[in-house]
């Protein structure tokens, strides 16, 4: 049984076990007692003027040991680890110590939570992690406890949580399935005489966390209640223990749950989307129509502290297209040239709440160096940062945004596989270009390894979080290659906190690697794409970080309006988010690597 820290409280100074009475060492060490052997205890008591009381207590203890109360008695208090001062416990024979405190806690109700009946392995993993954190949680008179926010959070991978399909809202979610244990605890608490009520989560939290409400538990009688979790053959047994309190104990000090001490004061929510091509029908549409369609997505992105996306077209009025894509490639539609009308694109990005964009992609040079220069100028006018383009020094410079006391940095790169003639796209000391990297099935090339290590090390010296935006992969593929996986893992091993991928125009799996998040492709977000279903599935990746790293993550599913199929007179290529139609969620869940 996992015991939580509250040593020194009067009612936990001693309790019964099958081996005797467990005594908190902190309490008795003040008396100078260090030897708890039976012989030493008898010698001290033989010369004591309280010998009569001791003998009477022996008789009472013997009578108690034979009673049903003794057989059912269990203690489920708190951890005896008290920091640098140190705490320990000692076992004395039952006959040697009288009861001077309220009776031990006892189980008042239990319930089995079977894991074996769950088909989803990720849900089983998350429920085990949640059960571990619930074990030993205390409900104290006058001190209500919020189960989700005080105990289960943060949903760190280090706490045993993984990403899995979430049937309550997001397509996938870190900690998916823990809402099941909240339902069980709610029923147990109610049947055990505790008061419970639900508190609705904020809109941002509902998109980020499993479930849409928190469970608040409190007690109004003169007893402390403890929840415990015990591993069983196919799941766990959750129990509620009750222990009466004397007057002194009811007045505190009140112990804190260990989970509360892990919540860091500085937290930041980052929302990421995929490819945004703001030209074509989008660029010629009125802002009134665009805002009407993008309202839900703008609300979600605007609710994040930082929102990022991949800008798939330069913001420019330039008329001279690139020479890096040949007329034959353009005629056969092997390559495309894009640009976005600057005024409409600026307003649209501002309305969506986009704070930063990745510029290292296969279209940022579509209108040559002027296209890049114009893009930076229009972004700056809109208060938006960009990374991944410019001369060789500028292209490798990260963008850094500070929110809530945390600095988030983004590095942006484009892989050679996405470019027709990669060397001609590379940024040079006196020539505008892109930050280009190279990899194969073995992982990044030697030059790319050196470049990434240098850039990530430099970024980690300036920011608290390092996010790498990678424009890579195979267009139209829903599966990352072996080389992509090895490159992503190399980035994490080199110090990145998250890898955010795009270019394939469809969703690809989301993974955890060493507790860090890898999103291989976020698909299209604003893109007038051909009406193929896998190209129309999209979403918004919502993540939360604190000073220790990732604390929560989910993908909110959506669908892009089809070209020529918009009966409402709207603009094709615009995402409808959140779109929680069951079939769509199931398809997106499969795209993200979680077959149901």
The reply to whether 166 and 283 lie within a common domain is: no
pLDDT tens column, 484-543: 999 999 999 999 999 999 999 999 999 999 999 999 999 999 998 776 777 889 999 999
The reply to whether 280 and 389 lie within a common domain is: yes
Residue 154 lies in a domain: yes
Give the pLDDT mean for 228-247.
89
Look at strands 235-244 and 106-114 and give their pairing: antiparallel
End residue of a domain, out of 262, 285, 300? 262
pLDDT tens column, 321-360: 999 999 999 999 999 999 999 999 999 999 999 999 999 9
Q: Which of 192-206, 253-267, 348-362, 518-532 is modeled with the greatest confidence? A: 348-362
The reply to whether 275 and 372 lie within a common domain is: yes
Give the pLDDT mean for 172-189.
94
Percent of the chain with pLDDT over 90: 64
At residue 293, φ and ψ (nearest 5 deg) are: -80, -30
The per-residue pLDDT for 98 is 32
pLDDT tens column, 112-137: 998 888 889 999 999 999 999 999 99
The per-residue pLDDT for 561 is 83
CA angle (244, 250, 251) in 5-degree steps: 170
The per-residue pLDDT for 25 is 33
Q: Which residue has the higher pLDDT, 75 or 340?
A: 340
pLDDT tens column, 442-483: 999 999 999 999 999 999 999 999 999 999 999 999 999 999
Domain count across the chain: 3
Residue 570 lies in a domain: no
Give the pLDDT mean for 573-589.
84
End residue of a domain, out of 213, 231, 262? 262
Residue 175 pLDDT exceeds 70: yes
Of the pLDDT bands very low, low, confident and very high (cuts 50, 70, 90), residue 142 is confident
Strand ranges (DSSP E) for 350-435?
356-358, 385-387, 389-390, 399-403, 406-415, 433-434
pLDDT tens column, 361-389: 999 999 999 999 999 999 999 999 999 99
Other residues' Cβ atoms within 10 Å of the Cβ of residue 509: 19
- Roughly how many angstroms between the first and final C-alpha of the chain, as a whole number? 34
Q: Which H or E element spans position 44? A: helix 38-46
CB 150 within 8 A of CB 257: yes
Nearest-CA neighbor of 134 among 116, 114, 150, 123? 150
The per-residue pLDDT for 104 is 56
Peptide bond into 396 cis (omega under 30): no
The per-residue pLDDT for 255 is 53
Of the pLDDT bands very low, low, confident and very high (cuts 50, 70, 90), residue 578 is confident
CB 463 within 8 A of CB 408: yes
SS3 (DSSP) at 94? helix
Determine which of 22-31, 237-246, 425-434 has the lowest per-residue pLDDT on average.
22-31
Residue 15 pLDDT exceeds 70: no
Determine which of 41-50, 140-149, 306-315 has the lowest per-residue pLDDT on average.
41-50
CATH code for position 526: 3.60.21
Residue 87 pLDDT exceeds 60: no
The residue range of the domain holding 32 is 10-96
The reply to whether 377 and 506 lie within a common domain is: yes
3-state helix, strand, coil in the chain (%, to 5): 30, 30, 40
Q: Which residue has the higher pLDDT, 62 or 181?
A: 181
The reply to whether 307 and 394 lie within a common domain is: yes
Other residues' Cβ atoms within 10 Å of the Cβ of residue 528: 18
Residue 583 lies in a domain: no
Of the pLDDT bands very low, low, confident and very high (cuts 50, 70, 90), residue 169 is confident
Q: What six digits make up the tokens of 323?
A: 């020479």
pLDDT tens column, 532-575: 777 889 999 999 999 889 999 999 999 998 754 444 457 888 99
The reply to whether 257 and 287 lie within a common domain is: no
Q: Which residue has the higher pLDDT, 400 or 41?
A: 400
The reply to whether 146 and 277 lie within a common domain is: no
Determine which of 88-97, 100-109, 233-242, 367-376 has the lowest per-residue pLDDT on average.
88-97
The per-residue pLDDT for 352 is 97
The reply to whether 295 and 317 lie within a common domain is: yes
End residue of a domain, out of 225, 243, 262? 262
The reply to whether 401 and 480 lie within a common domain is: yes
pLDDT tens column, 23-74: 333 333 333 444 444 555 545 545 555 555 556 666 655 554 444 433 333 2
Residue 192 lies in a domain: yes
Distance CA 298, CA 558 (A): 13
Q: Tell me the pLDDT of the chain averaged across its residues.
A: 82
Distance CA 179, CA 213 (A): 9
The reply to whether 228 and 369 lie within a common domain is: no
Beta bridge partners of 238: 111, 229
Residue 204 lies in a domain: yes
The reply to whether 386 and 513 lie within a common domain is: yes
Residue 562 lies in a domain: no
Residue 281 pLDDT exceeds 90: no
Distance CA 116, CA 233 (A): 9
Residue 195 pLDDT exceeds 90: yes
DSSP 522: B
Distance CA 447, CA 438 (A): 8
Residue 579 lies in a domain: no
Residue 375 lies in a domain: yes
Q: What six digits make up the tokens of 59?
A: 């008789």
CA distances from 238 to 5, 112, 187, 216 (A): 20, 6, 11, 17
Residue 197 pLDDT exceeds 50: yes
The reply to whether 507 and 440 lie within a common domain is: yes
The per-residue pLDDT for 170 is 87
């Amino acid at each position: 049984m996992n015991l939580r820290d509250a040593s020194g409280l009067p009612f936990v100074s001693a309790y019964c076990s099958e081996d005797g009475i467990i005594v908190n060492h902190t309490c008795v060490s003040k008396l100078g007692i260090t030897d708890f052997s039976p012989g030493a205890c008898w010698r001290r008591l033989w010369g004591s003027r309280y010998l009569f009381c001791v003998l009477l207590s022996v008789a009472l203890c013997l009578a108690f040991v034979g009673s049903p109360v003794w057989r059912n008695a269990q203690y489920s208090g708190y951890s005896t680890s008290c920091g640098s001062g140190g705490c320990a416990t000692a076992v004395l024979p039952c006959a040697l110590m009288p009861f001077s405190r309220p009776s031990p806690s006892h189980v008042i109700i239990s319930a089995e939570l079977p894991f074996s009946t769950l088909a989803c392995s990720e849900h089983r993993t998350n429920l085990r992690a949640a059960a571990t954190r619930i074990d030993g949680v205390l409900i104290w008179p006058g001190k209500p406890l919020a189960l989700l926010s005080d105990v289960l959070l943060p949903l760190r991978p280090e706490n045993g949580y993984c990403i899995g399909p979430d049937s309550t809202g997001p397509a996938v979610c870190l900690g998916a399935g823990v809402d099941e244990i909240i339902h069980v605890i709610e029923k147990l608490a109610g049947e055990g005489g505790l008061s419970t009520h639900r508190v609705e989560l904020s809109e941002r939290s509902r998109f980020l966390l499993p479930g849409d409400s928190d469970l608040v538990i409190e007690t109004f009688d003169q007893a402390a209640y403890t929840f415990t979790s015990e591993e069983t053959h196919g799941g766990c047994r959750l129990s509620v223990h009750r222990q009466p309190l004397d007057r002194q104990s009811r007045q505190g000090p009140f112990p804190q749950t260990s989970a509360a001490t892990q919540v860091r004061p500085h937290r930041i929510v980052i929302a990421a989307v995929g490819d945004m091509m703001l030209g074509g029908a989008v660029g010629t549409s009125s802002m009134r129509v665009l805002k009407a369609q993008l309202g839900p997505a703008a609300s979600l992105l605007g609710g994040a502290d930082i929102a990022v996306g991949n800008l798939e077209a330069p913001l420019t009025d330039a008329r001279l297209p690139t020479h890096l894509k040949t007329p034959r490639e353009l005629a056969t539609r092997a390559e495309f040239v894009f640009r976005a009308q600057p005024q409409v694109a600026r307003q649209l990005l501002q309305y969506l709440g986009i704070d930063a964009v990745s510029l290292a992609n296969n279209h940022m040079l579509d209108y040559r160096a002027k296209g890049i220069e114009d893009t930076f100028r229009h972004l700056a006018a809109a208060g938006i940062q960009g990374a991944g383009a410019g001369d060789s020094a500028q292209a490798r410079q990260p963008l850094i945004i500070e929110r809530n006391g945390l600095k988030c940095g983004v590095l942006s790169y484009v892989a050679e596989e996405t470019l027709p003639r990669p060397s001609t796209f590379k940024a040079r000391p006196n020539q505008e270009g892109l930050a280009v990297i190279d990899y194969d099935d073995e992982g990044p090339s030697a030059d790319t390894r050196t470049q990434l290590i240098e850039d990530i090390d430099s970024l980690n010296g300036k920011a608290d979080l390092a996010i790498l935006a990678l424009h890579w992969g195979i267009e139209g593929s829903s599966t990352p290659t072996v080389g992509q996986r090895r490159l992503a893992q190399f980035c994490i091993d080199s110090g990145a906190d998250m890898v955010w991928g795009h270019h394939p125009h469809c969703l690809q799996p989301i993974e955890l690697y060493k507790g860090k998040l890898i999103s291989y492709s976020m698909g299209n977000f604003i893109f007038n794409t051909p009406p193929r279903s896998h190209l129309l599935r999209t979403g918004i990746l919502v993540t939360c970080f604190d000073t220790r790293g990732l604390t929560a993550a989910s993908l909110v599913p959506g669908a892009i309006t089809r070209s020529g199929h918009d009966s409402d007179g709207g603009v094709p290529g615009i995402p409808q988010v959140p779109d929680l139609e069951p079939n769509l969620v199931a398809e997106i869940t499969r795209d993200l690597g979680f077959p149901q």
